[in-house]
């Protein structure tokens, strides 16, 4: 049987914005080496491979270079495809992944993803990372996956022009650069760089917001009460909007998605 294939713009409210993801619908397991080859051929920041299992779906994500443990935008894209292209009638989707069980639910035009929060722990970063970014940090740390850098202004986030060759040598999956937003409709602004994963700049990164939200929840607290509902803008060339609600040790991401391409893989 041919393998159905979709291209989806995730965390996008209009076509050709947000973050592109490929979604491949499998009926049986595909060899890892073939999944990696397909992801490299498609060459998006993430390609998702989803197949039905008992009580849900198995979901795996591959960059052009390797398999990753967690990906927000490709999970959003996969949920969109299952509901809107394959007419799954489940109220909630359950995905078994390398980061445990993840849940997706629909609310109007938005899809909500229940992910683990990954707050940053303050620690110095290598001079190599700071030199590669060319910024002046006011906070440095690391999350479960990435280096985390806060700068003083939105303009410094937007004007950041990393040395990707130097950044690729650092031993991290990616680097988040963030600041408080000047736009009242957003709480914070960010960008995400991951040349070591084969993606110089990721357009919109769901998993990064699992780190961004816990940090900004405390920074934007009113008195002793953290801000639990946040809205972030990722200021890549395509741009994208991510809503986040913090629930204990979980981060519930929300966003919209749009199908751009419907097709079939010619190899299996």
Angle between the 206-219 and 72-84 helix axes, to the nearest 10 degrees?
120
Residue 193's alpha-carbon distances to 37, 100, 160, in angstroms, are: 23, 25, 10
Asked whether the CA dihedral 85, 88, 91, 95 is positive or negative, the reply is negative
Note whether 114 and 76 are within 8 A (CB): no
Catalytic residue among 13, 46, 109, 222: 46
Which tokens go with 63?
Answer: 């960059």
Residue 190 CA, distance from chain mean position: 12
154 classed as catalytic: no
Using CA atoms, how far apart are residues 207 and 242, in angstroms rounded to an integer?
11
Burial class (CB in 10 A: 0-12, 13-18, 19+), 127: exposed
Tokens (6 digits) for 182: 């000047």
Q: What is the DSSP letter of 196?
A: G
**Which active-site residues does the annotation give?**
46
């Amino acid at each position: 049987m041919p393998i159905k294939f979709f291209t989806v713009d995730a965390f996008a409210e209009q076509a050709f914005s947000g973050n592109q993801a490929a979604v491949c619908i499998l009926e049986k397991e595909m060899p890892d080496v073939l999944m990696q080859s397909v992801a490299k051929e498609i060459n998006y920041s993430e390609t998702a491979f989803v197949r039905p299992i008992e009580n849900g779906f198995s979901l795996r994500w591959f960059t052009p270079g390797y398999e990753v443990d967690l990906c927000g935008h490709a999970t959003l894209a996969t949920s969109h495809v299952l509901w809107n292209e394959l007419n799954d009638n489940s109220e909630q989707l359950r995905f078994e992944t390398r980061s445990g069980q993840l849940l997706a639910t629909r609310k109007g035009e938005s899809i909500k993803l229940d992910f683990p929060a990954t707050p940053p722990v303050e620690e110095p970063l290598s001079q190599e990372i700071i030199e590669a970014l060319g910024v002046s940090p006011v906070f440095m740390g690391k999350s479960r996956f990435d280096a985390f850098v806060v700068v003083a202004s939105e303009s410094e986030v937007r004007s950041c022009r990393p040395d990707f060759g130097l950044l690729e040598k650092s031993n991290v999956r990616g680097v988040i650069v963030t600041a408080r937003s000047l736009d009242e409709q957003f709480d914070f602004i960010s960008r995400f760089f991951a040349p070591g994963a084969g993606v110089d700049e990721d357009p919109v990164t769901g998993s990064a917001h699992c780190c961004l939200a816990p940090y900004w929840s405390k920074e934007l607290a009113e008195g002793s009460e953290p801000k639990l509902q946040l809205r972030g803008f990722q200021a890549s060339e395509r741009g994208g909007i991510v809503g986040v609600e913090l629930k204990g040790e979980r981060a519930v991401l929300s966003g919209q998605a749009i199908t751009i391409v419907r097709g079939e893989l010619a190899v299996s």
